[in-house]
Chains A and B, each alone.
Chain A
Amino acid sequence: MKYIRIDKAQWAQGLAAAEKAYRLFGPVREGAMLNFAALAPGQAPDLDGLNTRMSARSVVYPQSEILFEYTVDPNDPDGNVLKEAPAPAKPAAAVGIRPCDAYSFLLVRRNFDAPDVKDVYWLRNYEATTFIGLACDHPGSTCFCTSAGCGPYSEQGLDVLLQDAGDAYLAKILTDKGAAFLAAAGWFTEAPADSEGCFSAGKEAAEAKITSTVETDRLAEIPQMALYDANFWEDIAFSCINCGTCTYLCPTCWCFDIQDEVRGKHGIRERNWDSCMFPLFTLHGSGHNPRGQKVQRVRQRFMHKLKYYVDKYGDGIQCVGCGRCIQYCPVNIDIRKVCQLMNRFGQDAACKVA
């Protein structure tokens, strides 16, 4: 494995060089909040905060994305022709993405890059993006990544992993894409020989700081219908106000809605994030709504992440443990508690949330 040392004095200069070849994204301070967004020319990513409010999902999968435009004007030379949104001219780089967010793309990829169906827009954006991760030396109190398949030094889904080493970043090159980005930034200084040790020591220290966990070991073996009919859903769902906070802040939620917006003879088709928390999400054209009640929608969200996904792909839960839904749920519905209830279903004599 190759390690590069990036002096922080060369950081801005390198990003400026990389900007010529890449569209840069990173954590950006917007008022009191840190968000993952496109960096303005010359803007440095803010790497001091905990994780960003919104995940890095929008780098690959924007909240609103125009797919194509069309006109039905017969006098227009492009009349009745579908004009697809062109691919961005430059590849993208997500600088300072946290390992949990990077890992989330691997979970989401199962949906957008299935053997039989490919989502061209998602894949195009994903493949054009280089992920320059920053290891989490100071994980938060609601981070439970280590029990959700990744961790503060997880390399899954990353092309480069950076470690903050005081006056420099140590960069562990994980893929050729990562090497190409570092080359474009002009960062070539070989790191000292003990870099590997720095990473493993950092990993150990960071993982030790993670105090929050989820239990998932029994989720696969409990029958779906038993969980579906479990007695705790009403209690969990009561406080839910059915807003989209959890689903929109979640890096692993992938649902969308396709909309046409038409003006005169010209129109576009776009896709927007959607949320299983909204009644409209499942409303049929007939007027029937199979998930018309709040408790059904809340159950769907947790069953999808913690049971259906587990059963379908056999590789853990659809959650990376970033803790955003716990931090920002307006009524404090906590996925760790729900996961515990589900995992211990049939074991605990009393199934109470509180």
Chain B
Amino acid sequence: MGVEPGRVHFSWISSAESTKFVDVVKKVTEAVRAVGPNQKFVKKELKVA
């Protein structure tokens, strides 16, 4: 739908896979940081006129 590639990630992580969880979170935050702040689903601050 036009959301930047790299903003959405899917992973299977078992509750026993703590190191995988850490790895995935690191990778996801890096990838999302590279894409930059999400502008598309956030309203601009509304003002009168």
Contact = CB atoms under 8 A, between A and B. Distances in A.
B42 to A, nearest CB: 9
Nearest to A267: B46
Interface of B: 43, 45-49
Interface of A: 66, 68-69, 83-86, 88, 261, 263, 266, 268, 270
A268 B46 contact: yes
B48 A83 contact: yes
A259 to B, nearest CB: 11
Contacts of B47: 66, 69, 268
A69 B46 CA distance: 8
B48 A261 contact: no
Contacts of A88: 49
Contacts of B46: 66, 69, 261, 263, 268, 270
A274 B48 CA distance: 21
Contacts of B43: 261, 263
A263 B47 CA distance: 11
Contacts of B49: 66, 85-86, 88
A83 B48 CA distance: 8
A51 B48 CA distance: 32
Nearest to A67: B48
A91 B46 CA distance: 24
A84 B48 contact: yes
25 contacts: A66-B46, A66-B47, A66-B48, A66-B49, A68-B48, A69-B46, A69-B47, A69-B48, A83-B48, A84-B48, A85-B48, A85-B49, A86-B48, A86-B49, A88-B49, A261-B43, A261-B46, A263-B43, A263-B45, A263-B46, A266-B45, A268-B46, A268-B47, A268-B48, A270-B46
